[in-house]
Amino acid sequence: MGYAIQVAATTFAKEFGKYSHEATASGGVEVTSHGRPIGAYISLKELENYERLKSKERRAIHARDMDDEMLAAIMSAEYGKASE
């Protein structure tokens, strides 16, 4: 994902205040080094959105890492019924 504003890392460091305001206005600023993206500075609104999405992310675990209680819950689950 690229942002509309791209800036070299050295310029970003020297003019942080300017690009902080740009990130707030546009959602984010892509930071590059030698012409390649190395990171981004995002607005608080974008950070909150990222954290909300991240909290809803599913995590996969291997069956060998499940305890007996979790395995029993899976084995007794019925399709279409919400878990307790």
**CA–CA separation, 63 and 80 (whole Å):** 22
21-71 pLDDT, tens digit each: 999 999 999 999 999 999 999 999 999 999 999 988 888 888 889 999 988
pLDDT at residue 43, rounded to an integer:
95
Q: Which two tokens stand for residue 1?
A: 């994902």
| All structural domains of the chain | 5-76 (3.40.1620.10)
Q: Where are the alpha helices (DSSP H) in the chain?
A: 9-14, 16-26, 44-55, 68-76
pLDDT at residue 81, rounded to an integer:
74
Q: Per-residue confidence at 80, pLDDT binned at 50, 70, 90?
A: confident
**CA–CA separation, 65 and 79 (whole Å):** 23
- Predicted structure pTM score: 0.65
